[in-house]
Amino acid sequence: MSTSTTASVSTHILDTSIGRPAGGVAVQLSARSGRDARWHTLGGSATDADGRCKDLPALPEATTHVRLDFAVEQYFLQSENKQADAQQDAPANRDSGRGVFFPEVAITFAVVPGEHYHVPLLLNPFGYSVYRGS
């Protein structure tokens, strides 16, 4: 819940390579108050079966910047066989050798008090995009 002195954040992840939500991805939330301030880890959560994080920690007052760190490597390693079946022409490890090409995704954005920021992550084994949702 946001007030006039704080912003709030939510997120979800869609695995665009299979057209489904990405469940079980660890997400860490950090904040700072000013461009030159230090980052403070506020806590984290994991995406549910719908790919949503419903319990991210509240932001402290005076937060100006937020960082979401998505630990996507474990998700891709666990779903590697499913993805290979879903993309027979694009095996999950092509071009990157063994393992995951993007093991982590870090998204940093500016916030203003009283606003809610929903930041969806569209993810696939070789790329990702984000946007400010609603």
Confidence of residue 96 (pLDDT cuts 50, 70, 90): very low
Given a cut of 50, whether residue 93 has pLDDT beyond it is: no
Residue 62 included in any domain: yes
| Domain of residue 116, residue span | 8-130
Mean pLDDT to the nearest integer, 98-108: 89
What pLDDT shows up at residue 30? 98
Count of structural domains, the chain: 1
Whether 12 is in a domain gets the answer: yes
Give me the CATH number covering residue 22: 2.60.40.180
Residue 3 forms part of a structural domain: no
Q: Is residue 51 part of a domain?
A: yes
Pairing of β 116-118 and β 8-15: parallel
Residue 102 resides in a domain: yes
Answer yes or no: is 2 within a domain: no
pTM: 0.84
Question: In this structure, are residues 70 and 13 in contact, taking their beta carbons and an 8 Å threshold?
Answer: yes
pLDDT digits 0-9 by tens, 121-130: 999 999 999 9
